[in-house]
Amino acid sequence: MPELKASDGMPSLWVETRGDRSGDPLVLLHGFTGTHRTWDLLSERLAQRYFLILPDLPGHGRSGVPPSRAEMGIGPTSQAVAEVVRLTTGEGGGGRRAALLGYSLGGRVALDLACKHQELLSCLILEGASAGIESDDEREERRARDDALADEIERRGIEWFVDYWQELPLFATQKDLPRTVFQAIRRERLSNSARGLAMSLRAAGTGQMVPLWDAMDDLRMPVLLVVGKRDGGG
């Protein structure tokens, strides 16, 4: 199942799988600037037990850029991932529920999917993810910043952006990683296109996301929230 074609306003997604289909299904959603390769090291261990489902999110990796910005939003993307889950765990898979793990952008997509399609999931794992910005004014400010950065990405190119992105305080601790790991992260970021990342910011940035704080109250599955010991913020 290398690619799920777009339908009904959903983006096309490139999807790779690893492990034996008889294993419990686990969907892994990467963050902004990542690809399915984000999970390579972890996948080596997880594939021994689980059937891994690894999409490239819109604007990233081999999924490319949908023809319209509307198809790249959190909602349409989560619908596309839900269809991936149905196709990979339904026919031939016994309709099993999948565990869903999402990081950052992938975490926001995962949360939206969980709020809409609990019947597909056995549990939800969110790493460094937000349920959205509740304040209308703050959400508009974030949207404006994301749009401005998207313009800069398109104007100055992917290498400029990756240099800028890896210097953000948010990623300061990545400089303590082994050099080979740090360079692999950089190469993965550079493998994306300036247009794809710019469009992802404009369509699926935190400022564009409909807040899900109230919808979370209806979740009835186990949910695990993961943050790093050295992460900043309050």
Note the pLDDT tens digit of each residue in 43-65. Answer: 999 999 999 999 999 999 999 89
> What residues does 16 pair with on adjacent strands?
54
By mean pLDDT, which of 12-16, 117-121, 135-139, 227-231 is the weakest? 227-231
What's the pLDDT band for 201 if we cut at 50, 70, 90? very high
pLDDT at 77 over 80: yes
Q: Residue ranges of the alpha helices (H) in the chain?
A: 40-46, 74-89, 105-116, 136-156, 158-166, 179-190, 194-204
Query: Higher pLDDT residue, 154 or 70?
Result: 154
pTM attached to this predicted model = 0.93
Is residue 179 very low, low, confident or very high in pLDDT (cuts 50, 70, 90)? very high
Indicate if the pLDDT at residue 189 is higher than 80: yes
Residue written as token pair 């399915």? 36
Mean pLDDT calculated for residue range 196-223: 96
DSSP string, 203-214: HHSGGGSPP-TT
Phi, psi of 31 (to 5 degrees): -95, 180
231, amino acid identity: D
**If you count DSSP H runs as helices and E runs as strands, how many of each does the chain have, helices first?**
7, 7
pLDDT at 146: 97
> According to the model, what pLDDT value does residue 93 have?
46
Q: Say how far apart CA 119 and CA 114 lie, in whole Å.
A: 9
- Rg of the chain (C-alpha set): 17
Residue 11 has pLDDT above 60, yes or no: yes
- pLDDT over 60 at 32, yes or no: yes
Q: Any residues with CB less than 8 A from the CB of 120 and at least 6 apart, and which?
A: 82, 85, 86, 89, 97, 98, 113
Burial class (CB in 10 A: 0-12, 13-18, 19+), 170: middle
Q: Tell me the residue length of the chain.
A: 234
CB 110 within 8 A of CB 104: no
Residues 102-120 pLDDT 10s: 999 999 999 999 999 999 9
Give the number of other Cβ atoms within 10 Å of residue 206's Cβ.
22
Q: Identify whether the C-beta of residue 58 lies closer than 8 Å to the C-beta of residue 25.
A: no
pLDDT at 62: 94
Whether the per-residue pLDDT at 96 is higher than 70: the answer is yes
- Token pair for 15: 């999807």
pLDDT band at 38 (very low <50, low <70, confident <90, very high): very high
